[in-house]
């Protein structure tokens, strides 16, 4: 079978062994003679899957027993609502760096007062704001670590005296970070951790003490934690496949993953910066390692470039519909070979 170079922004490329293990589980899960998607989620075999899937993120991030993790549904978009439902009592501070950050602000605004501490909207979200002040009387500060549409990424995080929450949907487990700086981390699985259908939420236990209002059960973090992600039927397949990816991440090691990701983005950005026909769209100091956004200096050549990519078995390279251009997503499972394939097409491109 021909090699396909998958640069899709999400649902995104996954490690082949995670896909293969999931296929086998669909046929015969843990020797039960039943498919993974046929067994009871409360059976001992799947309970063990869920327990392991909840433990591994904490282990990989170096977090201790003062943190817990849960798998929920609804994607990061539901977290935009759940976070203020649980924690916004008077006002909250948000960093506005793109579409998803803007959506989070919009949802929080339905439940209380929000303050945008800084925004990069003035330059079409092409940079990450710096030197902003976080009001210490806010209930929490929320940021988005990586912006898939605009190709920017937070390469450092502020010192924060109030609870700090972060949407890490598109760059979780891609580099070594001090995860203990955060009181809540969440990530839709389909970008860098698994298939669509489940969302990882990591919480510092002490933050739960700040919940004061009555909340519908499905929106209450305490309910989901007390039921160990089993309050309602979880996305069985998505959790299982995410566990396979987490095992792959653990075996490979964050240091090696970060090193590979650094190499991949350097190769591609170097070509963009030195190729007379292309240019990047994000400010250099804030360029994303996960989502490389770029354009042709002359848009009339777009169709030809896309055709050459197709002939080279490169897929998922088209930019988000709201901004156009091109976007190469360099998630953990993408091999350097694929980046080299794209660079070769760009290097040989002649309008």
**What are the catalytic residues?**
100, 167, 191
* Beta-sheet strands, E only, within 40-156: 67-72, 91-96, 113-119, 141-144, 146-147, 152-153
Helix 16-27 / helix 236-252 crossing angle, nearest 10 deg? 140
CA dist., res. 233 & res. 213, Å (int): 25
CA dist., res. 179 & res. 186, Å (int): 12
For residue 236, how many other CB atoms are within 10 A of its CB? Answer: 22
- Write out the DSSP string of 13-24: ---HHHHHHHHH
CA dist., res. 179 & res. 202, Å (int): 10
Q: Spell out the residues 6+ positions from residue 51 whose beta carbon is closer than 8 angstroms to its own.
A: 228
In this structure, the strands spanning 141-144 and 67-72 are unpaired
CA dist., res. 70 & res. 228, Å (int): 7
Closest by Cα among 57, 334, 89, 46 to 317: 334
């Amino acid at each position: 079978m021909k090699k396909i170079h998958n640069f899709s922004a999400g649902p995104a490329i996954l490690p082949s062994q995670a896909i293969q293990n999931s296929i086998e589980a669909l046929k015969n899960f843990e020797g039960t003679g039943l498919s993974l998607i046929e067994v009871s989620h409360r059976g001992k075999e799947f309970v063990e899957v869920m327990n392991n899937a909840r433990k591994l993120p904490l282990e990989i991030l170096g977090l201790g027993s003062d943190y817990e993790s849960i798998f929920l549904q609804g994607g990061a978009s539901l977290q935009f609502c759940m976070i203020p439902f649980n924690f916004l009592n008077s006002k909250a501070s948000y960093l506005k760096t793109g579409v998803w950050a803007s959506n989070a602000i919009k949802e929080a605004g339905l439940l209380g007062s929000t303050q945008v501490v800084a925004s990069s909207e003035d330059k079409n979200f092409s940079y990450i704001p710096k030197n902003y002040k976080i009001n210490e009387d806010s209930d929490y500060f929320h940021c988005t670590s990586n912006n898939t549409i605009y190709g920017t990424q937070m390469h450092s995080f502020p010192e924060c005296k109030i609870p700090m929450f972060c949407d890490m949907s598109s760059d979780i487990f891609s580099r070594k970070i001090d995860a203990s700086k955060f009181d809540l981390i969440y990530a839709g699985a389909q970008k860098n951790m698994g298939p669509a259908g489940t969302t990882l939420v990591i919480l510092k236990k002490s933050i739960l003490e700040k919940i004061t209002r009555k909340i519908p059960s499905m929106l209450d973090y305490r309910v989901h934690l007390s039921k160990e992600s089993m309050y309602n039927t979880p996305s069985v397949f998505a959790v299982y496949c995410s566990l396979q990816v987490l095992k792959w991440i653990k075996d490979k090691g964050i240091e090696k993953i970060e090193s590979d990701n650094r190499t991949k983005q350097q190769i591609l950005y170097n070509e963009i910066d030195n190729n007379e026909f292309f240019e990047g769209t994000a400010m250099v100091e804030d360029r994303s390692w996960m989502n490389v956004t770029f354009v042709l200096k002359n848009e009339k050549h777009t169709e030809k470039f896309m055709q050459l990519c197709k002939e080279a078995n490169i897929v998922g390279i088209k930019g988000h519909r709201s901004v156009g251009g091109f976007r190469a997503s360099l998630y953990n499972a993408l091999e350097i070979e694929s980046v080299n394939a794209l660079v070769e097409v760009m290097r040989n491109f002649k309008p």
